[in-house]
Amino acid sequence: MSAYLEITLQISNSNREAAVGVYTKFKGPFLSDVSGAESKSLLVRDEDVQVLHGFASTGDAQAYLESDLFGKDVVSELGPLLDADPEVRIYEAH
């Protein structure tokens, strides 16, 4: 069974280019180094920005949230660009 990790980010227009840079920087390491990682997409709309991660299982998605790549690298670079705390959701795909 596969899973999706959806992270919704409140980022002002002035910081969106920098946020795209963070997404681009970590997409490769995410896909090559994270156990169970299958896909990563950036979804942009006027209200917010979402990063949709595909995983082999919900356990893989949860493990990523606890990893150094996410906690130390991605969060530290994205943190200063955020207007609010991110919304994090994990979904099972059937």
Q: What is the per-residue pLDDT across 24-46, written as a single tens digit (0 to 9) for each?
A: 999 999 999 999 999 999 999 99
pLDDT at position 1: 79
**CATH number of 14's domain:** 3.30.70.100
Single-letter amino acid, residue 46? D
Residues of the chain with pLDDT under 50: none
- Domain of residue 55 covers 2-93
Number of domains in the chain: 1
In this prediction, residue 5 carries a pLDDT of: 98
Structure tokens at 35: 């156990």
The predicted pLDDT at position 41 comes to 98
Long-range contacts, 75-80 (Cβ 8 Å, 24+): 77/22, 77/25, 78/9, 78/19, 78/22
